[in-house]
Amino acid sequence: MGSDGRRVAVLGAGAMGTALGVHSARNGAHAVLLATERDGAVVDVWRRGLPHPSLRMPFHDRVGCRAAGEWGDALHDADLVYVAVSSAGLREMLSLAASIGAPDAVWVMATKGWDSDTLQTPCQVAANVLGDVPLVSLSGPALAAELLAGSPTGVLCASPERYARHRAATMLTSPAVAVFTTSDVAGAETCAAFKNVVAVAVGLAEGMSDRFGESALRANFANARAAVFARGMLDMSALVRSQGGRLATVLGLAGAGDLYVTCQSGRNGHFGRLIGSGFTVDGAIRSIGSTVEGVANTRCALGLAARADLDLPTARAVDLALTRDITGEHVSDQLWDLFLTIVSGTPPAGAITQPAR
């Protein structure tokens, strides 16, 4: 397929940013990856015609790449801008983008997770930095490697502006990608962040099987994982409602769908499994080798829960796992307490049930 004249800029050249860029190029657009200071290795392999360093797959021949400081007209002339940077670096990167501007663009936020200082969602941060621009939240079960490979995928575009969400959906829709739209931005963004917390909790239950599994029948703790998943869905529903979101969003792609794939194949689920099996937090992060959003998302979720006077047992249990030493050989009581905290909502003896306000 030749270029159809549409111009797409992708802020961030990591796995998801690159996948969105390649997908856009396959759909007929000319896409340019706008690398950050952390994407130097990506710029290097793109210039040398080598595969992406983390995805191990080639770039599309209609995907360009600009190093940090060289975004220029690639951003300014874009019809659509995907933002695919970590939540920790979002405000800084958007400030750089705002200094260039993209006057004709719809901005699609693929970043997931709250700002750790303000507890704002990505769209709220973007509105604060960029001003009055069309904003869309992109969510749903879309692993970067599968999107890049052209595997069947369903995603959700959320925006209060019908024009913006339908423009984003038109750019994303392909024979392999089905796109749904909603006006429930609060629900979509809350689900997108909190699912990382729940995935860590589900991973913890699976990791516990390495310590407690005494037979093949108990090896994977399937019952425990299912119970934690269910508790996580209840907590997600409560948090979404407190933020003004809708239950239908929790039960759809942004909630249940994204949570399922994150538990099965995402970094946060893997991180939980490592912690449950005996890794330290730092050791687990080093083993994964990239950002684990669930760590910061847990603290933010508890902050939002405090504001809304909610109890989120899933987040409390993950916070305990992140702050207690559960790496030794004699920690069975602590691990069982974590599981019971999640499933029943009952805190372990001596635990603080509500974070400081």
| pLDDT tens digits, one per residue of 318-330 | 998 898 877 666 5
Residues 147 and 198 grouped into a single domain: no
- Whether residue 266 sits in one domain with residue 318: yes
Closest CA to 168 of 195, 133, 193, 192: 133
One domain for residues 104 and 214: no
User: In which domain, by residue range, is 191 found?
Assistant: 186-344
- Which one-letter amino acid corresponds to residue 25? A
Q: Which of 168, 183, 198 is the last residue of a domain?
A: 183
What is the structure's pLDDT at 325?
Answer: 74
pLDDT in tens, 282-327: 999 999 888 899 999 999 999 999 999 999 999 999 998 898 877 6
71 and 99: one domain? yes
Residue 350: the pLDDT is 47
Helix pair angle (222-242, 313-323), 10° resolution: 110
Strands (E), 12-79: 30-34, 63-66
Tell me how far the alpha carbon of residue 190 is from its chain's centroid. Answer: 11
Which positions of the chain have pLDDT values less than 70?
1-3, 212-219, 327-335, 346-357
Enter the pTM of the model: 0.90
Say which CATH number the domain at 36 has.
3.40.50.720
100 with 223, same domain: the answer is no
Task: Tell me whether residue 87 is in a domain.
Answer: yes
Same domain, 208 and 301: yes
* 62 and 76 belong to one structural domain: yes
112 catalytic residue (yes or no)? no
Write down the pLDDT at residue 354: 42
**224, 274: one domain:** yes
Q: What is the pLDDT of residue 213?
A: 59
Question: 282 and 220, same structural domain?
Answer: yes
Residue 192 and residue 145 in one domain: no
Do 171 and 29 meet the contact criterion of CB atoms below 8 Å apart? yes
In a domain, 1, yes or no: no
Q: How many domains does the chain have?
A: 2
Residue entry with tokens 């303000």:
118
- Given the residues 195, 231, 270, 316, the one annotated as active site: 195
The reported pLDDT for the residue numbered 289 is 84
Gyration radius from the chain CA atoms: 20
Same domain, 133 and 29: yes
